[in-house]
Structure 1
């Protein structure tokens, strides 16, 4: 709810009732009207299928000397004011949100009526919706660190709501606000869930999922929602995963195709550029089309995204391999490795020693690399060749652990360049290492 974006609708109103939501009657101009002798309406900031949302000044707060005496008021459209079911939906929305006391969920203060206007009084938020944030970050998406800050806040709100027994069921970027202070606020909590659970003779029998009366937004609705199943946390998990994908790439994971229409053979999921390969499986599981294959809690996704990806042991091992990487270039290795089998036909005692080195894991090899006798240079090079990919991975992990500033930019690019250069001394033909070298000049390359 942002006074700098007053022409942008806050969200589609997904309410189901037995009347058309088209605004066929003349719109009522409430600007300048004072509701309950307290709320002076100043401007229209959003419109939906069943309601308009206004910014209003709370005269009681103003008289008390509050510097920002503003609230947001969601007013039921006049064509619905005489329909009991519509008023009940408004009341249910207010009561459901009032049950949720969380810093990342919008606060609802009250629900009331005045002069046949029925309305909810909510917290005023100065910021912009996530769909606006996503549009501003095109075409690359947000850097991981910045996106993860938002992801953690959204996840915390959903985890809390699910523990309280409330499922959002219409989670999408336009239902999430990022305030100027960097705080996430989710609104329209529980409305779609309540309607789906209480579907009755007053509900519109409408199979057009693009309609704002469907109770959810098809691009973010789970397969089960689209098939008419009862709401459950798995619906929010799918929508949450779609939002994570969009934050990191500015693209919808399924090109905005409804989940029950997706053909993965024609539109396979692609990893966002700003997402680490180690986190991609976790996000893919959240994006699973079918519930039985989907991650079963928001907490699992949040845990993966908040944990330290690179263990300290691997960082130490990476330091060993970089220090020991002073060997000949790959072209020479190729010729010399051909002689490795001949070397391994030495006497039984020597053969046992060689086999012991060959059976080491990558981390164990790095720890014992200096113990290989100098005269067995071919063995050392052969073992490095066998463990080539694992060693490159370790070098890359060390790069990822170089100190970063709060915006996710590496503080010491000379250190990054040194790591890459040392690794290239061992594997000069590595496509990945050369890619990292090319990207090292770009400040956003490791965000």
Structure 2
């Protein structure tokens, strides 16, 4: 069934449960994209046409129920020989599982659960639907705590069909009502009887009737009185016990008349004024029988002695009367009455004597407690408390149970004579295994070896440390190699793994002063190499600042203690041309304020860099701009007025030489976007130069040729002025 689609809509995902009549699967409603529960009729019933008709009819009746405590039925269908019902899917657990793990439950919680079940039954009974199979297995508890009753209609269809065909009953014998066990028609009060048993089990942790066979349990429902819940669990309030005892009365006339009446009792039974109310009393059926056997006191011989003198005096009085009295009628019933009383007394004495003898001769029988899964000492104590003897023998357990754990017992869930001997089969413990040698293995290989021994990954603790060994190599282990361990599920393994040599990110020393760079190396646990500082001229960094670091660049991983070499700027190269140029600054419109921004590109700045910004410029004025040119790099000054380029001024190396020799300098200027040849300014290799000036620059002495990227390098004059590995020298 897994993976099959029913009705072209419900995809079967996995099996989640099953019972005697159907199997329950978790499915996906493809149309609405929600999870549903799909109950599929077992194959042995699919060819019984009468049963199928009842199954559909009852399922449709159950679908009419709409209540927050009832599992909703969405759809009923048939595909080939598969009959199915689609129901609401509940994320949670069953009341049966809750009882197994937590019983006895808190009184408040048990009453709250019972109240929700009773509310669901009241709704069903008003819709003429009797559940007939109320038990913890059919009670679902969602993750939000809401109780949901399931299997409405199915139990009725099964029971009705089975009784009709075979005369037997189908259901859970431990939760049968007496009328259900007898095979007589069941009604609303049968569901309330089963609910009383569910409450009994929630609050005591055990069922009220146990037996060696289903028949014996059914007979107990008919014949035996239930043990009072407060004797099993003294914490149960008397008011709650009264609810259970009334729900579990064998006579339907003494039970609650309806689920609504029982719900009202449940809602008030925990109120302070009711918790210690008197215990409920029920009139025994035997007391209503006038012909029942009675025990009467024995008759004494002198009890009926007649005083003859009194009788003679009475006769004399009668003679003195004027009118003769009528003849006296003899009391013929006296003698038979005396005989009957004597016989009853004799029979009562005999009955009493037989009871005394039977009590002395009859051997007491007790329930055998289930001790599987307990330690041997605890199991023996439980059997001793139950007036039973025990013996044990060690066996090998395939489930690898811990040593001295009881894995089987000779008798369970049945009654035996007091003093009977119960044999316990005790686990001798799992076979011991040796811990393998994991040192020098890679972590992945070591983990695989441990998993092959049955050790769960959660029991493997890995501690990583910086070491000289290669990364991911195991350097030590606990337990040690060849050490024995018994239970792979319980052993904890600790592995110390190398992370390799510790490394740190290389700090960025470019642009730092020599002292700053030395301090940063010291803080980061790095060393300055011996004779590790060299000096070079540089356009990019001012004198005394770092222009390069070796052998690690910024953010490279470097081991602590590594020696680093620094290259420090000694200032501008000899051929560098620092100079000051006066340029005109004027507003966009004379008399009105403008903002003027100066951008500079020269030998020290490869891209336009903001040099100065002037605000509120209302008239033309001159501004001194300091810059640096080189034989292979001119300077370009951009003048922006109100964010619009107003002027481009180019300063060449020739201008520097002229200024140095005392000659006046007139930098070439141009206006942007005037067309080719319109300004006398051209762009060559990213450097702005006046047209025709390259042949006049002294740095381009005959052998000069342009360097890669469009800059000119004077022949033999600036061979060291190149950019290598991000370091300008």
Instruction: Give the TM-score taking structure 2 as reference length.
Output: 0.35
Is the alpha carbon distance of 1:265 and 1:289 closer, same or farther for their aligned partners in structure 2, counting shifts above 3 Å? closer
Q: Does 1:302 align with 2:263?
A: yes
State the partner residue of 2:100: 135
Q: Deviations over 1:137-196 (max 9, x none)?
A: 13xx11111112211110100111112221111111101111111111111113333454
Q: Deviations over 1:290-349 (max 9, x none)?
A: 22332322233322222253249x9xxxxxxxxxxxxxxxxxxxxxxxxxxxxxxxxxxx
Query: Aligned equivalents of 1:98 and 1:41: distance in 2?
Result: 21
Equivalent residue runs for 1:361-380 within 5 Å: none
State the partner residue of 1:154: 117
Q: Does 1:176 align with 2:139?
A: yes
Query: Aligned equivalents of 1:294 and 1:79: distance in 2?
Result: 37
Is the alpha carbon distance of 1:152 and 1:127 closer, same or farther for their aligned partners in structure 2, counting shifts above 3 Å? same
State the partner residue of 2:677: none
Higher strand content, 1 or 2: 2
The 8 Å contact of residues 197 and 231 in structure 1, kept in 2 or not, is answered as: no
State the partner residue of 1:190: 153
Query: Aligned equivalents of 1:281 and 1:78: distance in 2?
Result: 44
Instruction: Give the CA deviation at 1:86.
Output: 3.5
Secondary structure, counterpart of 1:215 in structure 2: coil
State the partner residue of 2:57: 92
Query: Aligned equivalents of 1:189 and 1:48: distance in 2?
Result: 14
* Alignment partner of 2:37 out of 72, 76, 96: 72
Instruction: Give the CA deviation at 1:38.
Output: 1.5
Q: Does 1:164 align with 2:127?
A: yes
Query: Aligned equivalents of 1:169 and 1:149: distance in 2?
Result: 22
Equivalent residue runs for 1:236-275 within 5 Å: 236-255=191-210, 258=217, 260-262=219-221, 268-271=227-230, 272-275=233-236
Query: Aligned equivalents of 1:273 and 1:132: distance in 2?
Result: 24
Instruction: Give the CA deviation at 1:264.
Output: 7.3
State the partner residue of 2:657: none
Equivalent residues, number: 268
The 8 Å contact of residues 134 and 247 in structure 1, kept in 2 or not, is answered as: yes
Q: Does 1:228 align with 2:183?
A: yes
Higher helix content, 1 or 2: 1
State the partner residue of 1:119: 84
Q: Deviations over 1:344-370 (max 9, x none)?
A: xxxxxxxxxxxxxxxxxxxxxxxxxxx
Secondary structure, counterpart of 2:123 in structure 1: helix
Is the alpha carbon distance of 1:79 and 1:252 closer, same or farther for their aligned partners in structure 2, counting shifts above 3 Å? closer
The 8 Å contact of residues 90 and 120 in structure 1, kept in 2 or not, is answered as: no
Query: Aligned equivalents of 1:253 and 1:106: distance in 2?
Result: 28
Query: Aligned equivalents of 2:243 and 2:163: distance in 1?
Result: 38
State the partner residue of 1:54: 25
Instruction: Give the CA deviation at 1:258.
Output: 3.2
State the partner residue of 1:216: 171
Secondary structure, counterpart of 1:254 in structure 2: coil
Secondary structure, counterpart of 2:239 in structure 1: coil
Is the alpha carbon distance of 1:89 and 1:254 closer, same or farther for their aligned partners in structure 2, counting shifts above 3 Å? same
Query: Aligned equivalents of 1:198 and 1:36: distance in 2?
Result: 27
Q: Deviations over 1:200-251 (max 9, x none)?
A: 76x2344xxxxxxx32211111111111111111101100111111111211
Q: Deviations over 1:252-281 (max 9, x none)?
A: 223476353258778632324342123322
Instruction: Give the TM-score taking structure 1 as reference length.
Output: 0.55
Query: Aligned equivalents of 2:225 and 2:273: distance in 1?
Result: 37
Is the alpha carbon distance of 1:310 and 1:107 closer, same or farther for their aligned partners in structure 2, counting shifts above 3 Å? same
Is the alpha carbon distance of 1:78 and 1:216 closer, same or farther for their aligned partners in structure 2, counting shifts above 3 Å? closer
Q: Which has the higher contact order (CA 8 A, sep 6+)?
A: 1
The 8 Å contact of residues 41 and 84 in structure 2, kept in 1 or not, is answered as: yes
Is the alpha carbon distance of 1:58 and 1:117 closer, same or farther for their aligned partners in structure 2, counting shifts above 3 Å? same
Instruction: Give the CA deviation at 1:282.
Output: 2.6
Query: Aligned equivalents of 1:126 and 1:193: distance in 2?
Result: 26
Q: Deviations over 1:374-422 (max 9, x none)?
A: xxxxxxxxxxxxxxxxxxxxxxxxxxxxxxxxxxxxxxxxxxxxxxxxx
* Alignment partner of 1:279 out of 240, 245, 248: 240
Secondary structure, counterpart of 1:61 in structure 2: coil
Instruction: Give the CA deviation at 1:50.
Output: 3.0
Query: Aligned equivalents of 1:199 and 1:58: distance in 2?
Result: 33
Tell me the C-alpha RMSD between the 2 structures.
2.5
The 8 Å contact of residues 176 and 186 in structure 1, kept in 2 or not, is answered as: yes
Instruction: Give the CA deviation at 1:89.
Output: 3.4
Is the alpha carbon distance of 1:143 and 1:60 closer, same or farther for their aligned partners in structure 2, counting shifts above 3 Å? same
Larger Rg: 2
Instruction: Give the CA deviation at 1:284.
Output: 0.9
* Alignment partner of 2:8 out of 15, 32, 37: 37
Query: Aligned equivalents of 2:246 and 2:119: distance in 1?
Result: 19
Query: Aligned equivalents of 1:259 and 1:33: distance in 2?
Result: 41
Instruction: Give the CA deviation at 1:126.
Output: 0.9
